[in-house]
Amino acid sequence: MSLRHVTLCYGSGPGAVTALDDVTLRVRSGERICILGANGSGKSTLASVICGLLAPDEGEVVLAGERAMGPNGADLNAYRRARRRIGLVFQNPEDQIVTSIVEEDVAFGPENLGLPSEEIGIRVARELGRVAMSGYARSDPARLSGGQRQLVAIAGAMAMEPRVLVLDEPGALLDVRGRCGIMRVMEQLKEAGTTVIHITHFVDEGLAADRVIVMDCGRVVLDGAPEQVFSQGDELAARGLELPFTARLARALRERDACVPWTCDEGELRAALAPLAARAAAAGGGPRAPATSHCGDAAARVDRVSYSYHGADGRRALEDVSFDVARGASVALIGQTGSGKSTLVRLLCALEAPDRGRIVVNGIDTSGKRDRRRLHGAVGYVMQHPERQLFAETVLEDVAYGPANRGLSDDEVQERCARALKLVGLEGREDASPFRLSGGQQRLCAIAGVLAMQPGILVLDEPTAGLDPRGREQIERILDDIRRSGTTIVRVTHSIDAAARAEQVIVLSEARVLMRGTPEEVFAPAYENVLRDTGLGLPTALRWAMALGLQAEPLTMEALVDCLVGEAV
């Protein structure tokens, strides 16, 4: 597979956007490649060209042994033949799922290849088992969580047994176990001779690749073995990316004058840290951070709540769930894919009522439709992929829609919009079309529309999913600012490291509350096996501390560095 001097533009004239700019790339058969880049760098467009879904404006393209485009333009028959040997998993599974039954959706691709029914059945069962979705074969994908739908899409692509498989952010909506499972599947496919091209914002996943490619502004700017690419930390930072945890830890320790090598290799760094760890362990490794708690009344109270989806499978989404959310607190809601997190936040936002039990938000019981309507301005809801709700011609019109419909004066609406746009860093873009913004900016625009409502409680469902490191950091800063202003924040996340920075953590498992408490209480080493069995795990810093034999239990990299160096350096 090869691309030579490929250029692709969206639109024409002065408003044209160059998505790929003179890209030359050769992929060897059976190679496992990781493609990194900030939002808007051209990764997804490159994936579409590699899969034959888009033909470039210029250049030469050879796909799966077929010369699809050359000096004389595109060869449609060659493209058609190549696409039968190439699989693609889209960034958003909703763009890929086409039927109302899981096993039928997985069978869709093999059926279009004209395979016998018996062979199709074998492939469907095999791939659903490989992504741990066999128990949902007869379910409606629309009733599954976002992460479960992503697993269905991955199973469907693998059922076609492609020579080349391209995965665009396959783990963005998955829990820790799900992402690890997809990494194992990619390794199995590579060992079987399949060419795997993996697009991701999880830079640590690039360590398992044969080759890492970094894109910026439609160009390939770095290309090499993982250790070669990740040795260029300043270059990556300039492109809006970050280093893997191992390299960031090594760099942070070196900045504190610790005598450790720069490395991406976990084993090498742990060996180098052994003397520091021994001294830190002997000294007690530093105190454990105190647990933080909020007193006062509850912003939300969930009392023995149950909820079911009334479909063909009659799936129970929540069962006897109870907890309180303290006013002004920052709460992380975590759990394996399909544990009921998204359903729970919809109930907290009074979009639906529970089948049994009570939810009281701001003193209002959500069981009645009229009372739920009263809460729609008081509770802000940022759903998965909120940018898909953008609709207005300008950024300002989109952000102003909610406040304007509350009957506020024009001056109040303008003031709220200005404040929200400044908070998310979009001041000066008021007259821009939201559809001309980058993916990360669209996410910020959608969030600004919610913030302009000035909700007392802000509920977010995976707000950083699919964002590059720079975008994730910006969202985290915004949430910190909002929390300091007194807003209660309830956040669904698959990032254990992000959850460790909250004040309260609630763990869902199989529709029930498994654990709840401060991060120090929930992420205690004693619960490692419980969390792992639930598809989760401990924060990265704590796992390193345990491996190094430290007595302290740091939950962040900063705390881990403090434990290791302290007065020893």
Q: What is the four-CA torsion angle of 191, 173, 463, 352, rounded to 10 degrees?
A: 180
Instruction: Judge if 2-238 and 301-528 fold alike in CATH terms.
Output: yes
pLDDT-wise least confident of 123-137, 312-326, 494-508: 312-326
CA distance 446 to 467: 14
Compute the average pLDDT of residues 264-275: 93
> What is the Rg, in whole angstroms, of the alpha carbon atoms belonging to the chain?
25
Residue 288, pLDDT score: 52
Q: What is the pLDDT of residues 428-437, one digit of tens each?
A: 999 999 988 8
Q: What is the pLDDT of residues 82-102, one digit of tens each?
A: 999 999 998 888 888 999 999
As a whole-number percent, the residues of the chain with pLDDT over 90 amount to 78
Q: What is the pLDDT of residues 213-268, one digit of tens each?
A: 999 999 999 999 999 999 999 999 999 899 999 999 999 999 999 989 989 899 99
Per DSSP, the three-state class of 46 is helix
Q: What is the pLDDT of residues 332-360, one digit of tens each?
A: 999 998 899 999 999 999 999 999 999 99
Name the residue with tokens 């729609």. Answer: 376
Compute the average pLDDT of residues 9-17: 83
Residue 168 vs residues 10, 130, 202: alpha-carbon distances, Å: 20, 19, 12
Domain ranges across the chain: 2-238, 244-291+529-569, 301-528
In whole numbers, what is the pLDDT of the chain averaged over residues? Answer: 91
Residue 145 pLDDT greater than 90, yes or no: no
Q: What is the pLDDT of residues 280-318, one digit of tens each?
A: 888 765 545 555 555 557 999 999 999 998 654 567 899
Residue 503 vs residues 104, 403, 422, 485: alpha-carbon distances, Å: 43, 30, 26, 15
CA distance 387 to 487: 22
**Tokens encoding 563:** 């434990």
Compute the average pLDDT of residues 23-41: 94
Residue 68 vs residues 23, 31, 63, 71: alpha-carbon distances, Å: 16, 21, 7, 11
Residue 387, pLDDT score: 84
Alpha carbon 174 to chain centroid, angstroms: 7
Alpha carbon 373 to chain centroid, angstroms: 31
Residue 388, pLDDT score: 82
Residue 384, pLDDT score: 83
Q: What is the pLDDT of residues 366-412, one digit of tens each?
A: 999 999 988 988 999 998 888 888 999 999 999 999 999 988 999 99
Q: With residue 361 as reference, give the H or E element that holds it.
A: strand 356-361
Specify whether the CB–CB gap between 148 and 133 falls below 8 A: yes
Higher pLDDT, 95 or 62: 62
Residue 94, pLDDT score: 84
Compute the average pLDDT of residues 418-443: 90
Q: What would be the CATH architecture of the domain defined by 2-238?
A: 3-Layer(aba) Sandwich (3.40)
Q: What would be the CATH architecture of the domain defined by 301-528?
A: 3-Layer(aba) Sandwich (3.40)
